[in-house]
Amino acid sequence: MRRLINQHPGRAAGLALGVLPFIVLLFVYVIASQLRLAENAGDKLLPSLGTIADTFHSYAFEEDKRSGVVLFWADTWASLKRIGAALGISATLALVLAVCIGVIPRARALLSPLLNTVAMVPPLAVLPILFIVLGLEETSKIALIVIGVAPCVARDLALRVAELPREQIIKAQTLGASTWQLILRVVLPQLWPRLIDALRLSMGSAWLFLIAAEAIASTQGLGYRIFLVRRYLAMDVILPYVVWITLLAVLTDLALRTLRARAFRWAEPDR
């Protein structure tokens, strides 16, 4: 009998093991829901899968009577637009900051203390300021995510630039690289995969800030909907929305991981 640490599951067994906890969770939910519904048919806390499916159908495939839009997709689109714009802005900002801080000593002296301080500001604490200054529209929501995500990504990337071996930087100079060329040909190309990693790690907080902003002031969006129907204990709406948000996050993560593996083959640990 080999040690546990040396027993590797095969491909099929590995997949089955991965799926198992999900099935167990679903099974536990179904049982619990049945038990509660048997006691009180009007129970709203753990709706049956059938009820959830019906509600989901009306949200995802029927137009809302009042607004005339299909709520589920309108919410999804509104949220994705916000988070997409915010992540795009965060990535650009973080990259520019990190390169300046990492490569140019004067810029480091100027910006590093500021960045390290701003990164410590609790983003939710400035949300009221954002609402007051930027209004309740899209800008303030996107700004909240950017404030929450960009400083962390920037600090991470700046550390990555600092980690580049000094030998590389010297070598590039002996090959005639100017500061600009060094950034363009040596630093940036090595930062792309790091940027993807950093974005993947900050995806959780990005969704957190998005939902917080939507919960407080919005007329559309996944977070808005969840907090709206909370008043009616509408678990049959909340649960599929939560599952959907999770699924979107997982898919984004997968997409970023695939992009990294495809586009930056040199950075993969085991080739």
Partner 1 sequence: MATVSVRNVWKEYGAQVVLENIRLEIADHEFVTIIGASGCGKTTFLKMLLGMEQPTRGQILIDGTPIRPEPDPDRGVVFQRYSSFPHLTVLENVMLGLELKAAKLAGRLFGSARRAAREAALAMLESVGLAQARDRYPAQLSGGMQQRMSIAQAVICKPKILLLDEPFGALDPGVTADMHQLILRLWAENRMTIFMVSHDIQESFMLGTRLLTFDKLRHDPQAPEAYGASVTYDLKLMRNGRGESAPRMAAGI
Q: Give the footprint of partner 1 on residues 190-209 (CB under 8 A).
A: 190
Q: Are 238 and 226 in contact (CB under 8 A)?
A: yes
Helix, strand or coil for residue 10?
coil
Query: Residue 49 has which token pair?
Result: 């899968």
Q: For the chain, what percentages of helix, strand and coil (3-state, to nearest 5) are there?
A: 80, 0, 20
Out of 57, 185, 230, 257, the only residue in the binding site for partner 1 (CB under 8 A) is 185
* Backbone Cα Rg of the chain: 24
- Calpha distance 176→217 (Å, rounded): 54
- Indicate which single residue of 57, 230, 257, 265 sits in contact with partner 1 (rule: CB under 8 A): 265
The kind and range of the H/E element at 66 are: none
Please state, in angstroms and rounded to a whole number, the distance separating the CA atoms of residues 7 and 23.
24
| Shortest distance (Å) from residue 180 CB to partner 1 | 8
Q: Which of 171, 233, 254, 259 binds partner 1 (CB under 8 A)?
A: 171
Among residues 65, 66, 262, 271, the one that binds partner 1 under rule CB under 8 A: 271
Contacts with 7 (C-beta within 8 Å, 6 or more apart), sequence order: none
Cβ closer to partner 1: 168 or 258? 168
- Residue among 95, 97, 103, 186 that touches partner 1 (CB under 8 A): 186
Q: Any idea what the Cα angle at residue 10 is, between residues 9 and 15, rounded to 5°?
A: 85
Shortest Å, Cβ 199 to partner 1: 19
**Residue type (1 letter), 143:** A
CB-nearer residue toward partner 1: 191 or 203:
191
Among 139, 181, 219, 246, binds partner 1 (CB under 8 A): 181
Structure tokens at 97: 């900051």
Residue 177, token pair as written in the block: 């690289």
Q: Please, which of residues 131-170 interact with partner 1 by CB under 8 A?
A: 165, 167-168, 170
Say how far apart CA 97 and CA 108 lie, in whole Å: 9
Q: Phi/psi of residue 66, each to 5°?
A: -75, -50
Residue closer to partner 1 (CB basis): 49 or 188: 188
Instruction: Identify the residue among 3, 12, 174, 262 touching partner 1 (CB under 8 A).
Output: 174
Q: 82 near 141, Cβ under 8 Å? A: yes
Q: Among residues 51, 116, 173, 205, which is the contact residue for partner 1, using CB under 8 A? A: 173
Q: In sequence order, which residues have a C-beta less than 8 Å from that of residue 73 and are 6 or more positions away?
A: 60
Tell me if 179 contacts partner 1 by CB under 8 A. Answer: no
State the minimum distance, in angstroms, from the CB of residue 183 to partner 1: 9
Nearer to partner 1, 65 or 166 (CB): 166
Applying CB under 8 A, the span of 47-55, 144-152, 174-182, 225-233 interacting with partner 1 comes to 174-182
Which of 113/189 has CB closer to partner 1?
189
**How many residues interact with partner 1 (rule CB under 8 A)?**
24
Point out which residues bind partner 1 (CB under 8 A): 165, 167-168, 170-178, 180-181, 184-186, 189-190, 264-267, 271
